[in-house]
Amino acid sequence: MLRAAAGQFSAGQVCQTRYILSVREFLRKHARFFLVSSLAALVLRLLLVFRFPGIVDDSHLYANLAKNWMQHSVYAVTDSGQIVPTLSRLPGYPAFLAVIFFFFGADNFRAVLLVQVLFDLITCFLVADIARRLLSPRAAKAAFLLAALCPFLANYAAAALTETLEICFTALALDFAISGLNALQTATHNHSHAASSWIACGLSIGASILLRPDGGILLAAVAGYLSLLLLRTIPLRSIIVQPTSPATPAPLPIVPAAIAPSAILRSAILVALCALAPLVPWTLRNLHTLHRFQPLAPRYANDADEPSMTGFNRWIKTWIADYVSVEEVYWNVPGDPIDVRQLPRRAFDSAQERDETAALFAAYNQDHDIAPDLDARFAALASTRIHAAPLRYYAWLPALRIADMWLRPRTELLPSDPRWWQFNDDARWLAVSVAFGSINLLYLAAACAGAWRSRKIRGLGLLLLFLLLRSLFLASLENPEPRYTLECYPVVIFMAAALFIGNSHRNHRKPA
């Protein structure tokens, strides 16, 4: 037994060594391409860092958490001069900021953005590696160039927000998942190599979850894909072509014997355990300090003493469909006055309902707060609207929110007018909006064409499942922000790169 285990471990080392050598040879062979492309990527990101740094309200909140953690050893926010423990944000990004502030000084956001640029460059290499594993070296180069020159990834690398790190760990998790699937689905299946890939995949997902709670969608995608693979494998393993004569060769199962259900189940367990383990200290801290069982951040990122405004949020979802309403209405409540004339026509089904909504906002504008009784009135109005048009609430509006997040020009971090389609913005920023919108459409169109061309590529199902699950989740949000689809861009870029796979690699199946 010990000899067999040692043999498996040695075989795993051989697989890892071969992979490292293949990557090293690939980079050496195309060194000039990657050097020039990396320099172009660096120039684009540094231009945005120094010209349009994105330091927003959330950035200062994360920085406050990081500084209190560093200086007072308490994960807390400063409220009216008091340090108050909180669970409104997960600790991943504040921990990242704390490390940067420790080495480069508190509130040194420029250092934060420069480090994020490095993470974004790593993302480019990870996307290229996924394409190299599943498609071809030519497609890998295309994927790297598409990621390096992607203005949307570069724009968020210049913003002190969670997106850049989240995208990087998403790409890392997907790369390890593809590696694990290759190890599972090859005839020379090696348990040690597969286990190490799934452990690394799980830890990467855990890092994503610690940055943003919706990182759990990636865990659902990987676990769901393995479950589908398991369900497909179990019945097929028993289907064997029976020999017709003694001279007929031995029967072969339709599904290779190496793809054992136990191996798939073991992989799913490894991923789940490694992804959820990093949440244990956070959950225990919340139980001990705040006496709440809270493995993730709350649904509305609120603390126990903050109202969640469930009625108002439900009413918002009866009409909101675009990012403009997020900026003009959703983000301003509570705290700022709201003019009912800012609401779109779809927010009212009748003149009577418009008058009722105006009365609710008049009550809100008295103190710019949603008290429990006012929240209940919004909830009643929401119930009336949902009862009158259930398909609108459960189907059409979620579909519109998905479309808006995917298709809107991604200029929310730039001075461009969010109402770009009215063409009344400054000419320069209107041109930027149109250009960004066109580039986004080109990426998505190329991804759709590439997905069709590579539809038989092993592992594509996992990537498509991730896109589907994340889009469905985003449809349930009250704030359709385009940045929430950026975690899908490693997959979008991979699929777009499939257009450059080359005819000789169209049936590429070789695992890496």
DSSP result, 456-502: TSTTHHHHHHHHHHHHHHHHT-SS--GGGGGGGHHHHHHHHHGGGS-
The CA distances from residue 229 to 195, 216, 256, in Å, are: 17, 20, 13
Q: Is residue 314's pLDDT more than 70?
A: yes
Residues 389-412: pLDDT tens digits? 999 999 999 999 999 999 999 999
Q: Which long-range contacts (CB under 8 A, 24 or more apart) does 462-466 make?
A: 462/174, 462/177, 462/178, 462/181, 462/221, 462/222, 462/225, 463/174, 463/491, 463/494, 463/495, 464/491, 465/221, 465/224, 465/225, 466/174, 466/217, 466/218, 466/221, 466/491
Mean pLDDT score across all residues of the chain:
88
Q: Is residue 256's pLDDT more than 90?
A: no
Domain boundaries, the chain: 2-237+255-301+426-505
Q: Which long-range contacts (CB under 8 A, 24 or more apart) does 22-26 make?
A: 22/512, 23/129, 23/132, 26/132, 26/137, 26/140
Q: Is residue 507's pLDDT more than 50?
A: no
For the chain, how are helix, strand and coil distributed in percent, rounded to 5? 70, 0, 25
Euclidean distance between the first and the last CA atom of the chain, given in angstroms as a whole number:
28
Reading the block at residue 206, the tokens are 């855990």
Quick one: average pLDDT of 305-327?
Answer: 92
Question: How many whole angstroms separate alpha carbon 186 and alpha carbon 188?
Answer: 5
pLDDT on residue 241: 45
Question: How many whole angstroms separate alpha carbon 364 and alpha carbon 379?
Answer: 14
DSSP-assigned letter for residue 253: B
pLDDT on residue 189: 57
For helices 163-185 and 489-497, give the axis angle rounded to 10 degrees.
50
pLDDT on residue 242: 44
pLDDT on residue 57: 93
Q: Is residue 449's pLDDT more than 90?
A: yes
Where residue 84 falls (left for φ over 0; alpha for ψ -120 to 50; beta otherwise) is: beta
Counting every residue written for the chain, the total comes to 512
- Give the residue, 345 or 18, on which the prediction is more confident: 345
Question: How many whole angstroms separate alpha carbon 326 and alpha carbon 312?
Answer: 13
Residues 27-69: pLDDT tens digits? 888 899 999 999 999 999 999 999 999 999 999 999 999 999 9
pLDDT on residue 239: 44
Q: Residue 13 — very low, low, confident or very high, per pLDDT cuts 50/70/90?
A: low
User: Within 10 Å of residue 456's Cβ, how many Cβ atoms?
Assistant: 10
pLDDT on residue 148: 97
Q: Is residue 108's pLDDT more than 50?
A: yes
Reading the block at residue 314, the tokens are 């439900």
Q: Is residue 243's pLDDT more than 50?
A: no
Question: How many whole angstroms separate alpha carbon 395 and alpha carbon 342?
Answer: 24
pLDDT on residue 511: 42
DSSP-assigned letter for residue 396: I
Quick one: average pLDDT of 478-498?
Answer: 96
